[in-house]
Amino acid sequence: MADAPRFTTLGCRLNAYETEAMKAMAQEAGLSDAMIVNTCAVTSEAVRKARQEIRRLRRENPQGRIIVTGCAAQTEPETFAAMEEVDLILGNSEKMKPETWSSLGPDFIGETERVMVDDIMSVTETASHLIDGFGTRSRAYVQVQNGCDHRCTFCIIPYGRGNSRSVPAGVVVDQIKRLVQQGYNEVVLTGVDLTSWGADLPAEPRLGDLVMRILRLTDVPRLRISSIDSIEADEALMQAIATEPRLMPHLHLSLQAGDDMILKRMKRRHLRDDAIAFCQEARRLRPDMTFGADIIAGFPTETEAMFYNSLRLVEECDLTWLHVFPYSPRPGTPAARMPQVNGKAIKSRAARLRSAGDLQVARHLAAQQGRDHAVLMENPRMGRTEQFTEVHFTRDLPEGQIVQARITGQDADHLLA
């Protein structure tokens, strides 16, 4: 009996979402004895890990057929075409088409072009695949947007994902209704540049309009937003933050730096004062709001004084959950041609940012002691609060359900209840 296709996902939540859609299409097509690697291109290290994973899969499965797709396959197909381990390369648009998978069939190798990667910039629609959610039974992810119209100097992703495309609101609402009927208690809206949702749709609605529509037309108990660009937060989104308890008080912000000169050299659209003002306003509207943030350490030309501005931003914005990225040059981006920061300095700055983040987490955990929280159970002994804080329990509780919990203690990075 042929083995079912095996998927490996690298990178972001959107990749994980798309892997689930590919699994369904591959199964429908009867694909077998294949290993599919869904790659990430956000850093050179991500591409290196993809190559490493491909070689590992070949060692473990000498006869298996390896298909490479995802952002790295889109941005540098020649890299993977040069690997003798790789049998087929699919672009980001091709991987989301049922006809791609049906054309492969059980015995596709030798019957099709080895590199199937078209111009991603010509894609004008986002495939709105209806999947049953993934991960645990507690949380479902819904893709509402793909691609990016901005050209930050450090980022290769627009060339892997194409220009911004939005899934129509009605399609999103119907999918969320279906997921709620299946028992999901939390839905997360995902995209590459989420706050650009709607710009390509008739009447150009904004993300806040979509959020309000979802909350008005569905019974989803908890709605969560993934990473946003705070400078693009619209009035309806701020209204939802202020008035809608089902919108979770946790926002992950694409900040990247806290120094104005570095932000300009990154071609970001906000300044440090904009970030601080947004966090203050969001917390004024929703006092229990917590923030995560992406910050890059050691961007080209960053001096110690510039870095210190980013370090101070952690406290000034009261950021809790930090994703710290030591800068590494990405070939093909303008930042890769700028004067680079010494590698040891980058490593040191990233460590200092992580230490500042650890201190913020400890403060947040300490502030929760004795409080009651609604916790969504991800497994019988662990769940997350509205602010996405991990909570551990001493006895089994029903997975996927929302339980009321009294916080009794804390560990290094989670609460006890």
pLDDT in tens, 259-273: 999 999 999 999 999
Residues sharing a CB contact under 8 Å with residue 316, sequence separation 6 or more, in sequence order: 258, 276
| CA-derived radius of gyration, the chain | 22
Average pLDDT over residues 204-214: 97
DSSP three-state, residue 33: coil
Q: Indicate the residue type of 65.
A: R
For strands 415-416 and 409-410, give the pairing: antiparallel
**Could you report the per-residue pLDDT of 176-202, keeping only the tens digit for each?**
999 999 899 999 998 889 999 999 999
- 405: which 2 tokens? 């919990």
- 160 band by pLDDT with thresholds 50, 70 and 90: confident
Q: What is the reported pLDDT for 3?
A: 75
Count of residues making up the chain: 417
- 292: which 2 tokens? 């995560």
Lowest average pLDDT, out of 126-135, 207-216, 235-244, 367-376, goes to 126-135
- 46 band by pLDDT with thresholds 50, 70 and 90: confident
**Rounded Cα gap, residues 389 and 393, in angstroms:** 13
Helices (H), 244-394: 260-266, 272-285, 304-316, 343-367
Q: How far is CA 176 from CA 40, 129, 131, 256, 332, in A?
A: 27, 12, 10, 31, 38
**Rounded Cα gap, residues 349 and 298, in angstroms:** 7
CB 140 within 8 A of CB 133: yes
**Rounded Cα gap, residues 223 and 190, in angstroms:** 11
Lowest average pLDDT, out of 83-97, 285-299, 362-376, goes to 83-97
**Could you report the per-residue pLDDT of 308-346, keeping only the tens digit for each?**
999 999 999 999 999 999 998 988 899 999 999 999 999
DSSP three-state, residue 246: coil
Q: Model-level pTM greater than 0.85?
A: no
- 387 band by pLDDT with thresholds 50, 70 and 90: very high
Q: What is the reported pLDDT for 297?
A: 97
Query: Containing H/E element for 214?
Result: helix 207-217
